[in-house]
Structures are given as C-alpha cells and as structure tokens.
Amino acid sequence: MRYAHITGWGKYVPQRVVTNDELAQTVETSDGWIRDRTGIAERRIAGPSETTASMAIAAAIGALDVAGASGSQLDLIIVATTTPEHLFPSTACLVQDALGAARAGAFDLSAACSGFVYGLSLGADAIKAGSANTVLVIGSETLSRIVNWKDRNTCVLFGDGAGAVLLQGSDQPGGILSTLLRADGSGGELLIIPAGGSRQPVTPEAIAQNLHTIQMNGREVFRFASRVMDRATREIIYKAGWTTDQVDLFVPHQANLRIIEMAARSLGVPLDKFYCNIARYGNTSAASIPIALTEAAESGLLRPKDRVVMVGFGAGLTWAAAALEWGEPHPASRSQKTLSRLGYGVASVRSRARRLFRRVEDRLFGTLDPTLQPAPAREPARELPGRNGSEPGRRGDGKREPTPASDPKPESVTANGTPSDQSALEEARS
C-alpha cells in the first residue's frame, strides 16, 4: 500500500506590512475594531513585482529544499488559488516552467479558501492510486488585487502570500490519512466576485459598481464557517479513527480569530492547540493553511508522528478537512540546494530557448506556403445551439435545415478560417 507523506514545506509572504492604523487612514475603521472583531493586526501586501506565480514559485522552492528534491522529480503541480495570474494559462503551468518540472502535469484548483486542502486531498489520492509519486501542492493568493480598498467590510480582512507542501509516496504508513471535501453551491452569492467571468465580463459599468471585487455577506459567512469548522473537524477525526484529545495540532483556515476560538470551545480543545497567525497575515485564502503549517514546522511545533488536523472553508461555499501524521524531515544539504538553484537557472534558460524556438519556427514555416495563409471570409457562421431552443442545423420546428451546396466541409476549415490540411503543413515544414 502507498502512503502520501508531506516531506517538504515552504512559504513566501511579501515584505510590505500594512497595519490596521495605516488602513484607518483610508477607510472609516480603527485598529481596535479590526483586532476585536477579527484578531488581525497587520497583513502583507504584494509589491508590483510580486504575483501569485512568483510567490507560488518561492514557496515551492522552499518546499523542495526542505525535502531535498528538485523540480525535475515532480509528477504533478496543483496550485490552489482564487487570484490566478490569468484565466488561462494556469498559474500552475507558470510554476511548472520556472521549476523545470519537465515531467509534471500542472493545473489550478478553484475552491477558494478550501483550495489547499482540496489540492492536498487530490495530490494524496494520486499518490495512493499510483498515478503520481511526487506532487507539489501550493496555495497562493494576491487578494490585494481583487479587494475593493474603499469597502471597510472586506478590505481590512485580506492579505497576500503563498505556502506549499511536497507530497511524496512511500510504503511507510503515515502521511495524509483521511480527507473530506464538501460544497454547498446554494450559498455561492454570499462570497463572490460577480464580474470577470463568462457570465458577466468586466465592463466599465461593472467596474463602476465594483462588481470585479470581493463582495461578502460577512455575518452569513461567519455563521456558515463556525458551523462547518466544528462539524468537519469532528468528522475528519472520526474518519481517521482518532479522538479529539489525540490531535497534537489543529491548523485551521485563518479567516477570523473568533471563528477559531468558537471551534476550540465547542470541541473542548485548548486554544493553544490551534495554530493561529491571523494577527500577522490576515486572511490569505488558499495560502493560509500552508503558510500556517510551514510556520508550525519551522518553529519546531511539529514532531514526527504528530497528529495534525487541517480545516478550510470559504467561497463556493466549500469546506474541507484533512487528518495527517507528520513525518521525518529530510533537509537538503547545501550542495543539494546549490544543485537545485542551478536546475532552476537551467529551467529559465530552457524556457527562453523554447520561446525563441517557437518564434523561429513561426518565421521559417508559418508563411512558407501561400495555401497556409488565412482564407478569405467565408459563409456566415452557423447558428449556435441554444437560439430559439433549436440544435445547430435544425429549425425551431425540429426539422433539418437544407444544407447549401456551397457549404464548406467543416473538417477542412479551422476556427479562424485557415485550412487545416495537416499534410500540406507537414510538407511545408519538411
């Protein structure tokens, strides 16, 4: 039987610290209100050169270093984020490129603040199923770029940062023992960015109403969070076959200190068994649990065989939990780290070379054959499904439309009207 162990961990937080007092200069709030209602004292805010990918890469390198592993060993990279660099390509692909993870699959995972635990569950399952042996799971967020800095209900809560863990397969029992993933889409509008997706693209009107920024019904989300923190923690402990007092450390999502305190009270667990760093970073969404876990490991709080429970909750609504047994660290030697750094340098050169090669290839072969030029405008586009309820090629009454004799065969034309005659292309290339 295969087990998925956490063998490396890392984090990155921006240098820039923004205190509550600083925020109180721009919105009607106070240090006292923010501390009392949330437990937050300050947060980190990304500078212009810090992005979701750059922070994810820094956290990932930290995790690989702790494990004495390199990017070339990775089979899978999962980046949990609500603030990806682009809608596509995925941020995970940017991480893959930077780490020189030539054998890895890579994808982003959207489950908001529960995203890291969702990713951990998928990564562990891939290892247990035998489809991967080395998986990087990252939570990275640049929430400062999607916050409405004039909305005191939300802007005081969030911060930027990234955390990562490396999962590796082993026959040794331990590691990720059980996970739980849940969702309730009926609460989607409680925490939402309404514009910017396919339903409502960003328009000047949407921007004027701040629909491209976080909108939250804080009280409702608070109620939901308090409920699921307790329920999911109990469920995952039961699933792992433990009792609450056997858990050595709880690593909860850092959204509000009051939510954590309520969970500790209702579970009958002393608060010092809950790792809390919300005072320093605020809510960093998918990054909050891996940042907290990394800090706990770095400060020596975690010893081999320790039993750890993580619980995340957030937009979706989603929630997730994981129970794991902490493993032995295998820190990289100085020479291993130097070799890895060299590897990342090589990855950067290789990435540039690939881009250059594509440009050269395009120059050499892109326009050699005049038949490969875009074709002149053709017939008007066929009707899309959905209009007046009819399928494409069918009339509203369900009868098939007569096909015009001049209708080009669809297989011979690509989306942009370019002939897709593979043999002509290959001939040109040879």
Alpha carbon of 396 to those of 8, 180, 380, 403, 404: distances in Å?
A: 59, 46, 19, 16, 18
Could you tell me if 80 and 289 are in contact, meaning their C-beta atoms sit under 8 angstroms apart? no
Contacts of 135 (CB under 8 A, 6+ apart): 4, 74, 75, 76, 77, 78, 123, 124, 126, 127, 166, 167, 168
Q: In angstroms, what is the C-alpha Rg of the chain?
A: 25
Site membership for ligand UT7, residue 283 (CB under 6 A): yes
Residue closer to ligand UT7, measured from CB, 145 or 303 = 145
Q: Regarding beta strands 42-44 and 76-80, do their DSSP bridges make them parallel or antiparallel, or are they unpaired?
A: unpaired
Query: What's the rounded Cα separation, in Å, for the pair 65 and 61?
Result: 6
Torsions phi, psi for 75 (to 5 deg): -100, -30
DSSP-assigned letters across all residues of 269-295: --GGGB---HHHH-B-GGGHHHHHHHH
* 99 Cα distance to chain centroid: 17
Contact string (CB under 6 A) for ligand UT7, positions 23-42, x = contact: ------x---xx--xx----
Shortest separation between residue 226's beta carbon and ligand UT7, angstroms: 9
Q: Which of 5, 20, 93, 253 is catalytic?
A: 253
Residue closer to ligand UT7, measured from CB, 128 or 152 = 152
Contacts of 252 (CB under 8 A, 6+ apart): 229, 259, 260, 263, 274, 275, 289, 292, 310, 311, 312
Query: What's the rounded Cα separation, in Å, for the pair 30 and 23?
Result: 8
Residue closer to ligand UT7, measured from CB, 149 or 357 = 149
Shortest separation between residue 37's beta carbon and ligand UT7, angstroms: 4
Site membership for ligand UT7, residue 218 (CB under 6 A): yes
Q: Token pair 């990252």 is at which residue?
A: 138
Site membership for ligand UT7, residue 113 (CB under 6 A): yes
Shortest separation between residue 256's beta carbon and ligand UT7, angstroms: 4
Contact string (CB under 6 A) for ligand UT7, positions 224-253, x = contact: -x----------------------------
Query: What's the rounded Cα separation, in Å, for the pair 336 and 115?
Result: 31
93 is a catalytic site residue:
no
Residue closer to ligand UT7, measured from CB, 23 or 132 = 23
Site membership for ligand UT7, residue 152 (CB under 6 A): yes
Q: Which of 113, 155, 256, 276 is catalytic?
A: 113
283 is a catalytic site residue:
yes
Shortest separation between residue 23's beta carbon and ligand UT7, angstroms: 8
Site membership for ligand UT7, residue 365 (CB under 6 A): no
Nearest residue to ligand UT7, scored by beta-carbon proximity: 218
Site membership for ligand UT7, residue 56 (CB under 6 A): no
DSSP-assigned letters across all residues of 121-166: HHHHHHHHHTS-SEEEEEEEEEGGGSS-TT-HHHHTTB-EEEEEEE
Shortest separation between residue 198's beta carbon and ligand UT7, angstroms: 23
Out of 222, 238, 242, 344, the only residue in the binding site for ligand UT7 (CB under 6 A) is: 222
Out of 133, 153, 200, 210, the only residue in the binding site for ligand UT7 (CB under 6 A) is: 153
The span of 97-105, 215-223, 386-394, 405-413 binding ligand UT7 (CB under 6 A) equals 215-223
Does an H or E element contain 228, and which?
helix 218-240
113 is a catalytic site residue:
yes
- Residue 412 carries which DSSP code? G
Q: Which of 93, 155, 256, 283 is catalytic?
A: 283
Site membership for ligand UT7, residue 156 (CB under 6 A): yes
**Chain positions contacting ligand UT7, by CB under 6 A:** 29, 33-34, 37-38, 113, 152-153, 156, 218-219, 221-222, 225, 255-256, 283, 285, 314
Query: Which residues belong to the active site?
Result: 113, 253, 283
